[in-house]
Amino acid sequence: MKKTNIVLMLFIATSLLFASCNRREYRTVTIAFDCNCTPQQQLLAREVINNRVGVWGVRNGTDLIDGKFNLSFRLRPEDNPYSNPWIYLLERILTQRGEIYITEMLQAHELASALNSWISENPDLSRFLRQASFSGLFTAPTQYISYIDSALNLNRHLFPANVYFAWSATSGEFTDFYELFALNSTGQRLPLNPNTVRSSRIEDNVHGFRQIGISLHRDYHAEWARLTRENIGRNLAFVMDGKVLMHPRVNDEITGGRLNITGNLETDDLSLIQSVILGGVLECTARIIEIPNTYN
């Protein structure tokens, strides 16, 4: 046998051995929709979920049968699927509605009179409210958020009709205080979904922090430019499911259809946001009901 053939056979054998030691198999999970969802809602939701997880190389789900379907994702045989980070992310993907939009904000000084009247009506609030940044109204600890929401609802008449409130999605660094913002219901709003977003990717910004870089479809370049142009010197709120992800100050008009999502967000948070932007809004939530021990 020629020497070259022997070398080739050894190379093939080594490659097969290496592949067998490092092989990744597909782990299948079974997903069930909430029983109060109609069959039509379930079909639409399955399509949204397929689009969301498609970003991460997951096989498209099987057909929907009795409100259930399967998804398969790559996993090494020695991995524990119950502690795998992707399972945790998948659980969030299945339960987040994912309505993401950019909207105009109202500053604290613009609502000073209404806020003073509200605190006068509820004097005990001053015990745990703290002054917020220039873009927010105030901050409060987690345990008082429900109480504050109730007080806002009971005194809704003190505030302008176009105002609605939203808390920050994450607490302050090293604290459990969340920030409350006033959003403008009659202002401009730009949704972020498959209809408006051409592409997105998780990347490092110039400061070394992780962010989502987004490119809008050309039809929305002018809308984004107008929204930034008319809010120079003010803040815009990036909102997901009623929570403010970030609230950047606009310094200049932004042309070209580019924008970034960054802030006090973990990589898993960014992965979730990217998934729901590219997958669309989920009207019917679901849950994982089975993770088999076998591979396929």
Burial class (CB in 10 A: 0-12, 13-18, 19+), 227: buried
Q: What is the pLDDT of residues 202-240, one digit of tens each?
A: 988 877 788 999 999 999 999 999 999 999 999 999 999
Q: Looking at the structure, do residues 81 and 116 belong to the same domain, yes or no?
A: no
Residue 162 lies in a domain: yes
| CA atoms of 170 and 185, how far apart (whole Å) | 22
Of 279 and 4, more confident: 279
Same domain, 196 and 273: yes
Closest CA to 281 of 242, 234, 248: 242
DSSP-assigned beta bridge partners for residue 106: 182
State whether 53 and 119 are in the same domain. Answer: no
Last residue of a domain, one of 160, 181, 202: 181
In a domain, 5, yes or no: no
- 286 and 251 within one domain: no
Examine the pLDDT at 24 and tell me if it is beyond 60: no
Q: In this structure, are 173 and 195 located in the same domain?
A: no
Please tell me whether residues 221 and 162 are part of one structural domain. Answer: no
220 in the same domain as 144: no
User: CATH number of the domain that 242 lies in?
Assistant: 3.30.1360.200
Q: Are residues 193 and 260 in the same domain?
A: yes
Alpha helices for the chain (secondary structure H): 3-21, 39-53, 85-95, 112-121, 145-154, 221-229, 267-279
Give residue 168's pLDDT: 94
Confirm whether 176 is domain-assigned: yes
> For the chain, first and last CA: distance in Å?
39
Domain that holds residue 274: 100-104+187-279
Closest CA to 239 of 181, 177, 284, 283: 181
More confident position, 54 or 179: 179
What pLDDT sits at residue 17? Answer: 42
**Which domain-ending residue is among 162, 181, 200?**
181
Position 136 in a domain? yes
In a domain, 203, yes or no: yes
* Cα 58 to Cα 53: distance, rounded to the nearest angstrom: 6
User: What are the beta bridge partners of residue 140?
Assistant: 178
Q: Which of 165, 181, 197 is the last residue of a domain?
A: 181
How many domains is the chain partitioned into structurally? 3
Over 70: is that where the pLDDT of 124 sits? yes
Flag the least confident range among 16-30, 226-240, 245-259.
Answer: 16-30
Q: Tell me what pLDDT residue 2 has.
A: 52
* pLDDT > 70 in the chain, percent: 84
pLDDT tens, residue by residue, 47-76? 999 999 887 777 767 899 999 999 887 765
How far is the CA of 279 from the CAs of 18, 199, 261, 271, in angstroms? Answer: 36, 11, 17, 12
Which residues partner with 180 through β-bridges? 138, 167
| 236 in a structural domain | yes
Mean pLDDT, rounded, of the chain = 85
Question: Does the pLDDT value for residue 247 go beyond 60?
Answer: yes
Which position has the higher pLDDT, 26 or 177?
A: 177
- Around Cβ 239, how many Cβ atoms within 10 Å? 23
Over residues 263-283, the pLDDT tens digits come to 778 888 999 999 999 999 999
pLDDT greater at residue 139 or residue 11: 139
Task: Look at strands 25-33 and 163-168 and give their pairing.
Answer: unpaired
The structure tokens listed for 177 are 């205080």
How far apart (Å, rounded) are the C-alpha atoms in residues 279 and 65? 22
pTM: 0.84
